[in-house]
Structure 1
Amino acid sequence: MDPRIREHASVIVDHSIDLSEGDDLVIDAHPVAEDLVVALHELAADRGANPLVVQDRLGERYQRAFLRNRDEFETPGHMEALYEAMDCYIAIRANANVTETSDVDPETNAAYQQAMQPLLAERLSKPWCLTQYPAAANAQLAGMSTEAYEDFVWDAVNKDWDAVREHQSQMVDILDPADEVRIVSGERTDVTMSVAGNPTLNDYGEKNLPGGEVFTAPVADSVEGEVLFDKPLYHQGREITDVFLRFEGGDVVEHSAGKNEDLLSEVLSTDEGASRLGELGIGMNRDIDRFTYNMLFDEKMGDTVHMAVGRAYEETVGEDNEQNDSAVHVDMIVDMSEESFIEVDGEKVQEDGTFVFEE
């Protein structure tokens, strides 16, 4: 086994979820990630924890078969009972075919996500970690050889996360007490939002691994302006490009996409909260230096900002503000490397990708 796999497992267990004796651990993983699952079992045994492997939300062929043969769903009680009983949860992204579910009807996917919402809420209430195993299919999607993709993934994952936390805390100190944020990029992105009263979190490889961002939630009805997300995203096995959203009073009132606009429309109409922003994130990880069609990495890239339509994370919403709730949380990225700036309470804190504390 590549020693970097065991190092990856150690970061998950010791840094991300702090696995302890007696913990009932659920690992959600595709079979192609078996080596990482094996390494996690070794560490679980060493720490006296109790691992269980499922192939639920990260499944491919069987999930496609289920979704293509059913269009009405209910929350499965036996799965809900499992997540209620567990102490911690690890999700490992890895694919045999990244487009396996691309021919599932978007409306069916939306209905399924709504039914699974209670499971998601239960998982997020426990210590959890979402990470990536460098499978060949994901390397292919990134346009990289398997070996190069392995280097890319493990260089991003196996690092000094305490140093990352310290560096990113400078941006947290700017954003956390702020009232208003303005994002400008090129000629088609100029959007403002209030973040007053909402905490800013420092993502240094705990819940998302790799980490490398600071993020918060906009006040739901405060978003005004328009955004062109000039980086593509992969959603439900399909690529969506050049997403354009225009906001009034927090709601998306106009949208378009260069490719798969119908899928974007289905996302935005999933439920009432799906047409509002649930997250504003600022990428700060410059070790992630290329776009790979994997939002777990792409949203952390330095010189980027991402915004997510849909669910706001509970811990990013202040007690006096309302949490935007939705069955979806879909991140989209704006390139901030040129003709761009971030303004916080009227002062520029980043221009063309460079933060004020880096000058």
Structure 2
Amino acid sequence: MNELINISKKILLDCLGVKAVEKFLVVTDDVKEELAEYLYEAGKELGLTSMLFKIPALRKSGEEPPKTAAEAMKNADVVICVTEHSLTHTRAKKEATESGARVATMPGITKEMFINGAITADYTQVEKLTKKVAEILTQGRKVIVEKDGHRLEMNIEGRKGIESTGRYIEKGQSGNLPSGEAYIAPVEGTACGSILVDGSIVGLGKLNSPILLRIEKGLLVDAEGDGAKEWLKILGNSDAARNVAEFGIGTNPNAILSGNILEDEKILGTIHLAFGSNDTFGGKVNAGVHLDAVVLNPTVYIDEKIILDKGRLLI
């Protein structure tokens, strides 16, 4: 227990820059309460006004937490969400950051992930690389992803690349922990083509065999492969749920493929797509769901310039 509390202290100090006078809130659920307790205790030992708020386990990532939890998030200086399903792309998180809170989300975090993998990275270096990639996305107009004979195109013109650096030390900053990704909301209705997902997918975990996604006019229209039909049911049938919500690039060299999207989407040289909501980071869709899919070793062009060559980042 002492080891995990010490690791939690390091996270609070290095990644969130906490100060003893601040109000620190941990939001958790029945599934992840044990891990949340370590952060709560670490906050107390660092002299923070440390608070723990437990909510019912949500049904899926992107679902809003209870209003009382959302209000508590807005009234804290620092918030960490240690939950089974992600609060990253929710109005509650967005409104908390707009109120000045620094928010880190840790959906699906495990004890193993507290100790090994992405959490052990040098986050000053991750921050530098992530900002470079985010700027490329911001300046970009068109993305092309190629893998194993499949090609997906999307328009990102006018959208802002978002940095999830793992360091949230200024008012209103937010992102995942562990972290290391830059992402953007593609322009709705523009994504077209197909992509072979061979890493992991929220709801299915680490894939034993690839799943082929077919996309038309910005919407996921079909998925083929083991578990594909099950995953489509989790996602839902509405146009909002099937919206191509996010294109992201992993920037953490210590991240390991485990089946947990929190870490998998951060692996250096991978890309991920998400479907559903994107209104919290520059898009127009609120679907009440946000599910990610990780692609290993893709080739990516932005405005015809190669950025990733079979998983090797060229910046």
Same fold (TM over 0.5): yes
Which one is further off, 296-305 or 120-129?
120-129
1:130 is the counterpart of 2:92: no
Structure of greater Rg? 1
Instruction: Give the deviation of 1:243 after TM superposition.
Output: 3.1
Task: Report the Cα distance in structure 2 between the residues aligned to 1:51 and 1:133, rounded to whole angstroms.
Answer: 19
Secondary structure of 2:126's aligned partner: helix
* Deviation by residue 1:142-188 (Cα, 9 ceiling, x = unmatched): xxxxxxx36x844421443122111233323322201001000112x
Aligned pairs, how many? 298
Contact 1:12–1:129 (Cα < 8 Å) also in 2: no
Higher normalized helix content (fraction of residues): 1
Does the Cα contact within 8 Å between 1:193 and 1:218 map onto a contact in 2? yes
Give the TM-score taking structure 1 as reference length. Answer: 0.71
- Match of residue 335 from structure 1: 296
Match of 1:180 in 2: 142
Note if 1:292 corresponds to 2:258.
Answer: yes
1:354 to partner: Cα distance:
1.5
- Residue segments in structure 2 that go unaligned for 5+ positions in a row: 97-101, 168-174
Contact 2:142 2:153 in 1 (8 A): yes
Indicate the residue corresponding to 1:105 in structure 2: none
SS in 1 for 2:139: coil
Equivalent position of 1:25 in the other structure: 25
Instruction: Look up the match of 1:51.
Output: 51
The unaligned stretches of length 5 or more in structure 1 are: 64-73, 95-112, 136-148
TM-score normalized with structure 2 length = 0.79
- 1:35 and 1:265 mapped to 2: Cα distance? 30
Q: Check conservation: 1:11, 1:158, Cα contact below 8 A.
A: no
2:286 aligns with: 325
Is residue 200 from structure 1 mapped to residue 161 from structure 2 by the alignment?
yes
Q: How far apart in 2 are the matches of 1:78 and 1:280? A: 32
- Please give the root-mean-square deviation of Cα atoms over the aligned residues, in Å: 3.5
- 2:22 and 2:12 mapped to 1: Cα distance? 17
1:308 aligns with 2:284: no
The counterpart of 1:92, out of the listed 71, 82, 85, is: 82
Q: Distance in 2 between matches of 1:312 and 1:93?
A: 20
Which whole-Å CA distance do the structure 2 matches of 1:236 and 1:309 have between them? 15
- SS class of match (1:176): helix
Residues 46, 238 of structure 1: alpha-carbon distance in 2 compared, 3 angstrom cutoff: closer
Deviation string 1:12-46 (CA, Å, 9 cap, x unpaired) is 36523746635262431547653652453342464
- Post-superposition Cα deviations, 1:120-162, rounded to whole Å, max 9, x if no partner, equal 4123322321226534xxxxxxxxxxxxx36x84442144312
- Structure 2 vs 1, CA of residues 160 and 33 (structure 1 numbering), >3 Å: closer, same or farther? farther
CA contact (8 A) 1:243 1:257 kept: yes
Structure 2: which amino acid aligns with 1:273?
A
Identity over aligned pairs, percent: 21
- Residue 246 of structure 1: aligned partner: 214
1:148-163 → structure 2 map (5 Å cutoff): 149=112, 153-163=115-125
Q: Is the 8 A contact 2:27 2:54 kept in 1?
A: yes
Q: How far 1:252 moved relative to its partner? A: 2.2
Q: Which amino acid aligns with 1:15?
A: C
